[in-house]
Amino acid sequence: MSGWLAIAGLGPGAEELITPEVSRVLSEATDLVGYGRYVARVPERPGLTRHASDNREELDRARQALQLTTEGKRVVVVSSGDPGVFAMAAAVFEAVDTGNPSWRNLDIRVLPGISAMFAAAARIGAPLGHDFCAINLSDNLKPWDLIERRLRLAAQADFVIALYNPLSSARPWQLGRAFELLREELPETVPVVFASAVSDSAREAIDTVPLRDAVAIRADMRTVVLIGSSRTRLIPRDGGQPFVYTPRSAEA
Ligand code: SAH
């Protein structure tokens, strides 16, 4: 029997934000591979073997998934959000690119999911309505200097910026430094959205503050931070969160 490998995104957390395509493939799988917290989001069932691993072992995990596929298994590698955004899809292709040449001919598919920035944006309005970029603030796989350079240039280009992996116990100072640098480049009134545990009804928290008041301690590992451009606007509302949106047009 020939195996296949699906690299699937589970969305930001809520069951109803998992696509029907991903649900179907999960129901057909024999093996589930991924970081423990994401594997735990898929209900156990007879016939499904779970291979949960530590968050830092992405390449090993990708190779394990490819090996299982060559053995004829129907394998799903799971990520949160979209698997192509700072997640397992690129790790699998790195493993294919550098690994056993026979892996190139396997049946490998990437199944999209709703990325944290899209789930967060939808909660508050349309902050990504004009040009934007996403930056991973983790310096595990790239030097901090490069991150600073990209942040500065993105702010100068007036992109809205989505910051992933803003903070962890191993990386406590990076987000504060990022705000400092952004305050040098952008008006201090630019809206900053801290969107935490989006779509997890018990824990979701979304706050919008001006850049001048943005502090790193507001964020954690399950927060995506959206930095507005100079055009991003707030629509205040009585007794509720303001809408935040970026107009579709910009003039020089
Ligand atoms: N592939 C994922 C991103 C993985 S990196 C995606 O497309 O969303 C992990 C980072 O994603 C976290 O540090 C956080 O910045 C963000 N994130 C993931 N789930 C989130 C959620 N429910 N709410 C807010 N941010 C989230």
**Separation of CA 1 and ligand 1 centre (Å):** 36
Report in angstroms the alpha-carbon separations of 65 from 16, 78, 108, 177, 194. Answer: 26, 11, 11, 37, 34
pLDDT of residue 147: 97
Q: Hey, which bits of the chain come out as E strands?
A: 4-9, 31-35, 49-53, 74-79, 108-111, 125-126, 132-136, 160-164, 191-196, 205-210, 223-227, 233-235, 243-245
DSSP state of 43: P
User: Which one of 224, 225, 227 would you pick to mutate in the ligand 1 pocket, going by the greatest count of ligand atoms within 8 A of its CB?
Assistant: 224
pLDDT the model gives residue 252: 65
Amino acid at 57: E
Q: 227: helix, coil or strand?
A: strand
Output the residue whose Cα is nearest ligand 1's atom 19: 12
Percentage of the chain modeled with pLDDT above 90 = 92
18 CA to centre of ligand 1 in angstroms: 14
The pLDDT assigned to 54 comes to 77
Per residue in 101-130, pLDDT tens?
999 999 999 999 999 999 999 999 999 999
pLDDT band at 143 (very low <50, low <70, confident <90, very high): very high
Tell me: pLDDT of 159 over 90: yes
| Res. 250: pLDDT tops 90 | no
- 2 — pLDDT class (breaks 50, 70, 90): confident
Tell me the average pLDDT of the chain: 96
C-alpha 94 to ligand 1 mean position (Å): 21
Q: What pLDDT, in 10s, does the model give residues 51-101?
A: 998 767 899 999 999 999 999 999 999 999 999 999 999 999 999 999 999
State in Å: Cα 220 to ligand 1 middle.
Answer: 11
Dump pLDDT digits (tens) for 170-212: 889 999 999 999 999 999 999 999 999 999 999 999 999 999 9
* Ligand 1 cavity residues, CB under 6 Å: 12-13, 79-82, 85-87, 115-116, 120, 164-166, 195-200, 221-224
Choose one of 115, 123, 221, 223 to mutate for the ligand 1 pocket test, by most ligand atoms within 8 angstroms of C-beta: 223
* Helix, strand, coil tally for the chain in percent (to 5): 35, 25, 40
CB neighbours of residue 151 within 10 Å: 22
Residue 31 Cα to ligand 1 middle (Å): 24
pLDDT per residue as tens digits for the range 145-155:
999 999 999 99
